Structures are given as C-alpha cells and as structure tokens.
Amino acid sequence: MTRVLLTGGAGYIGSHTAVALCQSGFEPVLLDDFSNSVPAVLDRLARITGRAFPCEHGDAADVSFVRQVIERHAIEAVVHFAGFKAVGESVAEPLKYFRNNVGSALGVLDAMRETSCRALVFSSTATVYGDPDRVPVNESAPRRYENPYAQTKGMVEDILAATARSDPSWCFGVLRYFNPVGAHPSGLIGEDPHGTPNNLMPYISQVAIGRRPALQIFGGDYATPDGTGVRDYIHVSDLAAGHVAALRHLLERREGLIVNLGSGQGHSVLEVLRAYERACGHAIAHQLAPRRPGDVACYYADPGLAHSLLGWRAQRTLDEMCADAWRWQSGNPNGYHGG
Ligand code: NAD
Ligand code: UDP
C-alpha cells in the first residue's frame, strides 16, 4: 500500500482527502501543527474509515522534522495542504502568509530532497487567476495576483516548476481548487472555521443553525443573472477524489500536471441560499449589503483538462453540497468543539 503524507491533513480538505485515499487503497499519514484544526478530527476519521491514521504533530516548514516523518513512515508521495487561506488576513498580515505558505512548501521540498520521495500534489487555488478575462477559466489563463494569499500560491507553483526543471525525477501535481464546500455525508467531518466565517457556505450554515443573525449578501448589482456574485462550488468529497486521481497519475506516469478542480458550473449567492433553505427546511435571514472589496462578479472553471488527463469529474450537485453541509452543521453546531 502506498503511504502518502498529508501535510495539513487534519484540516478541512486534508481530512476529506484522507478518507478518500484510505478508501482507494492508499495509506494516509497526517502531519499538522493544529494552527487551524483540532486533534478531535482523528477520532472522527477513525469512525468513518475504521482505521486510526498516524498523525505527526509539527511544522511543515521544519525540514528535519518532515524528513524524519517521511523516513519513519516510508512515505512515497506527499499532498501539501498545510498553509493559511484567509484572503483578507493575508492583506493585513502579508509576512505571516509568505512565511507560512512559502516556508512550509520549501520545508517539505527540502525534506523530500533528502529522501527518495519525489511526488507531490500541491493545493493551489483558482484565486491565482484574479479577475479572469473570460469564463469558463482554463489553465492557460494568465495568473494575476490580487492579494498576498494568491501570490504565495503562485510563488509555490513557480518554485515547483523550477524544481521540476532542475531534476526530472521530481513530479508535481498542481491542483487549482475553485470553491470547496459541503462535508462528508456521514456528518462526522466538515469545515470548522475559527471566528467569523469569511466564506459564503459556512456563513450561511451558521445563520441556519442560529449562531448568527443574518447573511449579508455582498453586492446585488453585478452583471450576473440575479445581480449576485457567481462562483464554482465543488463538493469537498469530489475535490478529495480529484487528489486521488492526481496522485495515481503522478505515481503511474511520473509526469507533472496543473489542473483546475471545479464543477464547471456557476451558481449565484442567491442560488446557494435557496439551495441551503431547501436543505435545512426553513428560511434563512439575509440582507443586501455593499460589494465586498476585491470581489469579482463571476468565475467558474473549465474542468475539461482534469477530465481528459485524470478521468475525474465533479459528481455532486449544489443540493447535495448544501444537504451535506447542513448535516455536518446541525449535528455539530459548534464544530469539533462539542456543545
Ligand atoms: P484548513 O485551514 O482547514 O487546513 C490547513 C491545515 O494546515 C490546518 O489543519 C492547519 O492546522 C495546517 N497547517 C497550517 N500551517 C501549517 C504548518 N506550517 N505546518 C503544519 N500544518 C500547518 O484549510 P483547507 O480549507 O483544508 O485548505 C487546505 C489547503 O487548500 C490550503 O493550502 C489552502 O490554501 C488551499 N485551498 C483552500 C481553499 C478553500 O476554499 N478551503 C481553496 C483553494 C485552496
Ligand atoms: N459572499 C456573500 N456573503 C458572505 C460571504 C460571501 O455574499 O458572507 C459572496 C461573495 O461576495 C462571493 C460568494 O459569496 O460572491 C463566494 O464568496 P466566498 O468568500 O465563499 O468565496 P470567494 O469569493 O473566495 O470565491
């Protein structure tokens, strides 16, 4: 069984990917510093899969720590999720983002260089496209960084490209995620943001459960069918399956790739709100608010390359994303913190 190290594996996407990898015959090993997650996720993963995953507590930027983890577990491939992801915080505290997002990638690569492990999948983001010239967005669209977070992801993409050029034994899979939402259908794992959620779906979830009074809809005057912003929402379990497909590709073909992982469908804020109301069975308070600075009107993926290269396609509908988000939220009103 191929052992795969998931840095940031206790987080939202990492935990779902651990389940998908385990169920596809891989052996996940988690590494996390718990800066944005909690060890309680490990029990939940064991309940879902019937397996206790090893989890190493530490910093992905620490080269000797990561090297020891790779050697101890005979790791053959890495999925590098570890990093910070809040766009607004990256504007306020850019150094924190450059240090952790670039530093953790360098730490993992340097650690891998000291071992024979040469395959890595990297969590990039559609945010690297900024405000695209046209939709759907394909992988050849220019990268335009509108905030330090996007820049850190673009920098790591460039570091991977240069590293691959320097030595052909490396192979890297860069996955540009669109908007991951939803939760595992068991309702045992899901997104558990600290403080006020920045993103739409967790915000709606907290209004639906009564933790917040109302959703603010940021802008009703965009040039979109109903005036609200349009995004490409992808179920986190579909995203997890995309990692399995990418890893198989890297390990079997030993060739790198850069692909979008999105559904290829755009949904407006109001469409998401209505779908969530159907899922939870009651109306969700909302009000129109000014546009959020830096937001673009509309973007969604051209996911064609992921399909032709990896045979992967998002399967789950917006209604399923909302139903699973609601199962997680209603079963765990305070996330992993109980109560
Ligand atoms: P998350 O915060 O839930 O998970 C990230 C995990 O990494 C957390 O468990 C955190 O504790 C850990 N971590 C952070 N820095 C670390 C370090 N230096 N060493 C060890 N562990 C560290 O976030 P997520 O939503 O699961 O995102 C995973 C990755 O995907 C991130 O790199 C993020 O930038 C990227 N991404 C996320 C989204 C999204 O909307 N969620 C979209 C595009 C890309
Ligand atoms: N959005 C909103 N209210 C919120 C959070 C988000 O109206 O409280 C809108 C936002 O303007 C965008 C969409 O929902 O049009 C998705 O935003 P999110 O932050 O989830 O993703 P991103 O903007 O990073 O794609």
pLDDT digits (tens, 9 = 90+) for 24-70: 999 999 999 999 999 999 999 999 999 999 999 999 999 999 999 99
Q: Which atom of ligand 2 is nearest to the CA of 127?
A: 24
Judge whether 149 counts as a catalytic residue: yes
The residue type at 265: Q
3-state secondary structure of 26: coil
**Of these residues, 12, 129, 149, 203, which one is catalytic?**
149
- The model's pLDDT over 204-262, given as tens digits with 9 standing for 90+, comes to 999 999 999 999 999 999 999 999 999 999 999 999 999 999 999 999 999 999 999 99
Q: How far apart are CA 287 and CA 182, in angstroms?
A: 23
Q: Note the ligand closest to the C-alpha atom of 301.
A: 2
Q: Whose CA is nearest to atom 10 of ligand 1?
A: 36
Q: In this predicted structure, which of 136-140, 205-209, 261-265, 335-339 has the lowest mean pLDDT?
A: 335-339
295 CB near ligand 2 (under 6 Å)? yes
Nearest CA, atom 37, ligand 1: 85
Any ligand 2 atom below 6 A from CB of 199:
yes
DSSP string spanning 131-198? S-SSSSB-TTSPP--SSHHHHHHHHHHHHHHHHHHH-TT-EEEEEEE-EEE---TTSSS----SSS--
* SS3 state at 297: coil
What are the pocket residues of ligand 1 if the criterion is a CB atom closer than 6 Å to any ligand atom?
7-8, 10-14, 32-37, 59-61, 81-83, 85, 100, 104, 123, 125, 177, 180
pLDDT top residue among 293 and 44: 44
How far from the centroid of its chain's Cα atoms is residue 58's Cα? Answer: 20
In this prediction, residue 339 has a pLDDT band, given cuts at 50, 70 and 90, of: very low
Minimum CA distance residue for ligand 2 atom 6: 200
Give the Å distance between the CA of 287 and the centre of ligand 1. 30
